[in-house]
Amino acid sequence: MQIAYATPHATPHATPHAGPHAGLTAAAALATLPHAVSTLASAAPSTVASPVARSEREVQLRPVRAQDLTPMRDFVRSLSAASRQARFHGGIKPDSERLLRYLSQADGVHHIAFVAVLACDDGDVIVGEARCVRAASGESSAEFAIAVADAWQGRAVAPRLLHALRRAAAAAGIRTLFGDVLAGNARMAAFMRRHGFAPAGAAAGGVQRWSGYAPCDRLAAPGSPLREPGNASLPAA
């Protein structure tokens, strides 16, 4: 199964909701988040941290779980048409049980996957996911993919997911990660270069393959600021 590398399109920044997210349900969080934050900020601006600080503190990364099938469905449904195209390189059915089972199950060795989540009243809401899959058992290379909810693009979620994925992949014996980027997607190409990836051969079929080592010492630790200096629109796959 091909894993299309997700790439963000340019979107206006939405300010994340300061948590805990009391009164906000998981199913509604992705859709209501920008409005909820606007209301909170106008009511008590002194209690609201900066967007970067909030995203680092409130968004938690963890391995995907089989119980994530429903929040994964909500996440895929929430992606804009452009984000879905970037992630899957084609049309998909967001409610496909086969797709959702695949996205919400990983063994941590052949298939490694992480989700970025917000804790809401009725459970976690997924705002990003990253995964890599070996083409065959025991291989030292794996194809990877990243996707981030449109409202959270540009909030340093993608670099944190990539960092976690690279560390886990290296621990599992994966030395090389590769991913496909749609031709003409300059923002994602820049993101890949910043994170140590390079084009692997010439583009073919409207897709450029990028490859890089799984371990990367240049990546910052998950708890440190990950926004690139002077780059307010950091790609958040």
Place of tokens 């560390």: 167
Beta pairing, strands 123-134 & 141-148:
antiparallel
Quick one: what percent of the chain has pLDDT higher than 90? 42
**DSSP string covering 144-162:** EEEEE-GGGTTSSHHHHHH
What are the pLDDT digits (tens) for 60-117?
A: 999 999 999 999 999 999 998 888 888 888 778 888 999 999 999 999 999 999 999 9
Q: What is the largest CA-CA distance in the chain?
A: 55
Cis-peptide into 20, omega within 30 deg: yes
Residue 29: per-residue pLDDT: 60
Q: How far, in Å, CA of 22 to CA of 36, rounded? A: 11
Query: What is the helix, strand, coil percentage profile of the chain, to 5?
Result: 35, 20, 45
Place of tokens 């984000």: 83
Can you say whether the dihedral through the CA atoms of 207, 208, 211, 217 is positive or negative?
A: negative
Over residues 158-183, the mean pLDDT reads 93
Residue type, 124: D
Whether residue 17 has pLDDT greater than 60: no
What are the pLDDT digits (tens) for 128-152?
A: 999 999 988 778 999 999 999 999 9
Q: Which residue has the higher pLDDT, 32 or 224?
A: 32
